[in-house]
Amino acid sequence: MACTVVPNAIFKNGNSIPMLGLGTWNSPPGQVAQAVKDAIDVGYRHIDCAHVYQNEHEVGEGIAAKIAEGVVKREDLFITSKLWNTFHRPDLVEGACRTTLNNLKLDYLDLYLIHWPVGYKEGPELFPMGPDGKTFLFSDADYVDTWPEMEKLVDAGLVRNIGLSNFNTKQVQRVLDVARIAPATNQIECHPYLHQSKITSFCATQGLITTAYSPLGSPARPWVQANDPILLDDETVVKLAQKYAKTAAQILIRYQIQLGHVVIPKSVTKERIASNFDVFSFQLDDGDMRLLGDLERNGRICPESSAFGHPHHPFEKEE
């Protein structure tokens, strides 16, 4: 399977990104380095990270091990990370990027994203809270002032491409209005229960690739409720898995690829990591693509509820 060639999506600037990558959000400590090593052995060359996941040092260990073994060279890999909400103030952007590079043991990132359009109060806490222990503290930093600092990271050779994550259409447009280097992608939650067709269509017209996170419905998310619908168990998805003799996860990953999206399923289990990669030997027919499209229920899994009330919250006023 390691010889499988993953197709690339092409950014507007001509650079390319593998359409399938390994997600690392919510991956338990002590398991991430091995997951990265397993993924590289299987054939993954795209790893998606973020400062807030608090596991980038382990991701870096996995990458470094495979480079040292000669399995891959640095230039074979596409590594993404994200600027966290507490570092939106312009003077903090470069330092945050260098911290991530240090944790990942890398000289440059292939892609660096503004993780959310909302800024949190600057300081050591990732989720700063007021004295009541309930209210989150926000920064007045505006992401349009953050963006020029992202561009400087490209100028400095620290980052090859820059982009956005969880931005709505108006917010993407605000960045485009000030951009010297246009964002390459908008990474958003995307799966059959939440297609986000407005933002994906807008990004396509503006030359931004959509990267889909939580493509499997994130069944292991920390705040899952007992009565929440489970996308992997959806009757339509299960029937399609039976039809194509594939797993439900493979159907959902293949769906995103056929929509033209980059997709980053997360797993730390070697068998699932391998299975999630095995999505290039079949194709969903047009009727089955429509069946999955009909599952839309605006079922947002990652609402960033801690930032409700923030003037730049992307979902409260616009989907």
Is 255 known to be catalytic? no
d(CA 145, CA 141): 7
Would you say 115 is a known binding-site residue? yes
> Of 44, 53, 143, 193, which residue is the catalytic one?
53
Angle (CA) 206 210 212, round 5°: 165
- Residue 189 β-bridge partners: 213
Q: Specify whether the CB–CB gap between 160 and 154 falls below 8 A.
A: yes
Rounded to whole angstroms, how far apart are CA atoms 200 and 218?
A: 20
**What is the number of other CB atoms lying within 10 angstroms of the CB of residue 164?**
27
3-state secondary structure the chain: CCCCCCCEEECCCCCEEECECEECCCCCCCCHHHHHHHHHHHCCCEEECCHHHCCHHHHHHHHHHHHHCCCCCHHHCEEEEEECHHHCCHHHHHHHHHHHHHHHCCCCECEEEECCCCCECCCCCCCCECCCCCCECECCCCHHHHHHHHHHHHHCCCECCEEEECCCHHHHHHHHHHCCCCCCEEEEECECCECCHHHHHHHHHHCCEEEEECCCCCCCCCCCCCCCCCHHHCHHHHHHHHHHCCCHHHHHHHHHHHCCCEECCECCCHHHHHHHHCCCCCCCCHHHHHHHHCCCCCCCCCCCHHHCCCCCCCCCCCC
Residues with catalytic roles: 53
Binding-site residues from annotation for substrate: 115
Binding-site residues from annotation: 115
